[in-house]
Structure 1
Amino acid sequence: MTLVFTGICSHGPGITGRADLAPPELRDPFFAAYRAMRDALHAARPDAVIIVAAEHFANFFMNNMPSFAIGMADGYEGPIEDPDWLRIPHRRVRGNASLSQAIIAEVQQSVDVAYAEEWKFDHGIMVPLSFLDPDNKLTVIPANINCQGPPLAPLHRAWAFGEALRRAADAVPQRIALIATGGISHWPATPDSGRINEEWDREFLRRWAAGDKAALLDYTDAGTYAEAGQGGFEIRTLIAAAAAARGPGTVHFFTPIPIFSTGCFVATAEIA
């Protein structure tokens, strides 16, 4: 079949865990944009949704840190965090092991990718799912890019991973959607938590919406760390989505929300 939908969104734990503390004039339009993407995603009638996320040492740690990994199970559990803290009830998310295997086999033709038959979802996946699939109806294939433990996956390899996911989506008979979730500038678990570099964020989203491969791959880890914090390394997931979609994007919402500790965004891309 083919890729039928591509979108990107924020996933900070404060988005759900501290929702009541955010200014309504900032929070409510953000949540409305998330709901609009939910409606568009379900209208595309995907048989499965690949969620490309940045995992936070919940499953992969320094004893085994793959640059790229894809889940290959018929079901996944989440959130791994305390549901009362995250304010997301624990659930079992539907997977599809045989479809995952077909996706993985095609991705492996050009990108070395690990696979995992056990995967506990952390907030990187569960926060988006709480908005995009509140009724727990979607079939999910999780994918992870190492944005945490240096050496990080190079940006051009993140682009290649996105291209491989697009090729795999086009090769299987099912309708596939892709959601990439991560942060732009943010400094989690540091004294600078809550700091947001709005100018840097807007420039990244401009490049992303333009589908400008050269500009997206022009970032360096040193420059990103200085301007966008260690959370900024998660642009890899968003870059993979741009590579998969191949078309221009539309930023439906962006605004800094400091109590959520990240610039909050929702965007979709045309499938070219």
Structure 2
Amino acid sequence: MSLVFAGVTSHGPGITARPETADPVVRDAFFAALGSMRQQLEAAKPDALVVIAAEHFANFFMNNMPAFAMGMADVYEGPIEDEAWLKIKRRDDIPGDADLSKRLITEIMQTVDVAFAEEWRFDHGISVPLHFLTPDYGLKIIPVNINCQGPPLTPLHRAWAFGEALRRACDKVPERIAVIATGGISHWPATPDSGKINEAWDRDFLDRWSRNDRAALTAYTDAETYRDGGQGGFEIRTFIALAACAGGQGDVQFYGPIPQFAVGCTVGVMDIVEP
């Protein structure tokens, strides 16, 4: 098989912008888990890293909002946020692989409609995880966006179908592919409730994710998610796609609510099994 690694992590901008404000015990445990995830990723020896994210109107807006989109370029740029604030240096030479992207997209299109873009500006949704997992950009990056921002949102069962299609595509190329999904879980960004975290809801979702329970993962309604997980909770779509892609059981290596980062911070790795 060509899928060699699958994992999930959070991407809140506060993780790099204001780490000194968080409880050092919880923060350091989170950062240690990210360090361990980097080691596991490197040990898998991937040729490319697919990042399934929920971007924040950096490339797509309501005049053009695809349910799924993938980058198809040899070079990307980012992050778009002010580097003095996000504390990640902006680069315009982040390596991609247009040919590999095209082959993956072509296969995914057999079952799932996916848009593609030859230009892509990373925001914190991709840049924060990369800062910890491949800070020297030693891997070719293939960005993926699932619409978690502009209603009507991508249905959860379609996020699952996308993950299955991505897995088939990965297994048809000779390159060794790693996939990570980044997102919430519960958070209420850019609202008066910013910093609120629903730990019980998060842990219930992670239990479903760890069991890779398709029925339970796709059972949420958007109204329930908005009520219990905030508008940031819509990003569960990325975790669901990753579960479908990997196919195995998940190991939550860290979970902790960190209000200063405005999100329930998560690091998890999923077993890869034959479809």
Q: Shared fold by TM > 0.5?
A: yes
Q: What is aligned with 1:185?
A: 186
Range that drifts further, 86-95 or 209-218: 86-95
User: Secondary structure, in 3 states, of the residue corresponding to 1:171?
Assistant: coil
Q: State the Cα distance separating 1:20 from its structure 2 match.
A: 1.2
In structure 1, C-alpha distance between the alignment counterparts of 2:10 and 2:22, rounded to whole Å? 15
Deviations 1:216-262 (A, max 9, x none): 00110000000000000000000000000000010000000000000
Does the alignment pair 1:22 with 2:29?
no
Question: How far apart are 1:136 and its partner, in Å?
Answer: 1.6
Q: Which amino acid letter does the alignment assign opposite residue 224 of structure 1? A: T
* AA partner of residue 233 (structure 1): F
For the pair 1:71 / 2:105, whether they are aligned, the reply is: no
Q: Distance in 2 between matches of 1:134 and 1:46?
A: 15
Structure 1 counterpart of 2:229: 228
- SS of the residue corresponding to residue 58 of structure 1 reads coil
Tell me the alpha carbon deviations over residues 52-73 of structure 1, each in whole angstroms, 9 at most, x when there is no partner.
Answer: 0001001100110000000000
Aligned to 1:147: 148
1:117 paired residue number: 118
Q: Give per-residue Cα distances to partners, 1:122-151, cap 9 Å, x unaligned.
A: 000000000001122111000000000000
Deviation at residue 43 of structure 1 after TM alignment: 0.7
Q: How does 1:80-229 map to 2 (within 5 A)?
A: 80-91=80-91, 92-229=93-230
Counterpart position of 1:267: 268
CA distance in 2: counterparts of 1:258 and 1:201, whole angstroms: 14
Q: How far apart are 1:90 and its partner, in Å?
A: 1.0
Could you tell me which amino acid in structure 2 is paired with residue 252 of structure 1?
A: Q
* Percent of pairs with identical residues: 67
Q: Secondary structure at the match of 1:121?
A: coil
Q: CA deviation at 1:265?
A: 0.6
**Cα distance in 2, alignment partners of residues 132 and 14 from structure 1:** 17
1:27-46 alignment, distance < 5 Å: 27-46=27-46
Partners of 2:135 and 2:24 in 1: how far apart? 21
Which SS does the other structure have where 2:235 is aligned? helix
Matched with 1:47 is 47
Q: Tell me the distance in 1 between the aligned counterparts of 2:253 and 2:116.
A: 33
Listed one character per residue, the Cα deviations across residues 161-220 of structure 1 (whole Å, up to 9, x for unaligned) are 000100000001100010000001100000000000000000000000000000000110
SS in 1 for 2:171: helix
Amino acid at match of 1:140: I
Question: 2: CA distance between counterparts of 1:231 and 1:39?
Answer: 28
2-structure distance, mates of 1:17, 1:189: 15
Cα distance in 1, alignment partners of residues 184 and 256 from structure 2 = 13
Q: Between Structure 1 and Structure 2, how many residues are aligned?
A: 272
Matched to 1:267, the amino acid is G
Matched position secondary structure for 1:149: coil
Structure 1 counterpart SS, 2:102 = helix
User: Which residue of structure 2 lines up, in the alignment, with residue 3 of structure 1?
Assistant: 3
Q: Give me the whole-angstrom Cα distance separating, in 2, the residues matched to 1:259 and 1:30.
A: 13
Cα distance in 2 for residues equivalent to 1:216 and 1:93: 33
Letter of the structure 2 residue corresponding to residue 71 of structure 1: G
Counterparts of 1:106 and 1:42 in 2: how far apart (Å)? Answer: 26
- Deviation per CA, 1:99-120: give whole Å up to 9, x if none: 0000000000000000000000
For residue 174 of structure 2, what is the amino acid of its counterpart?
A: P
Give secondary structure in 1 for the equivalent of 2:116. Answer: strand
Aligned CA RMSD, in angstroms, stands at 0.5
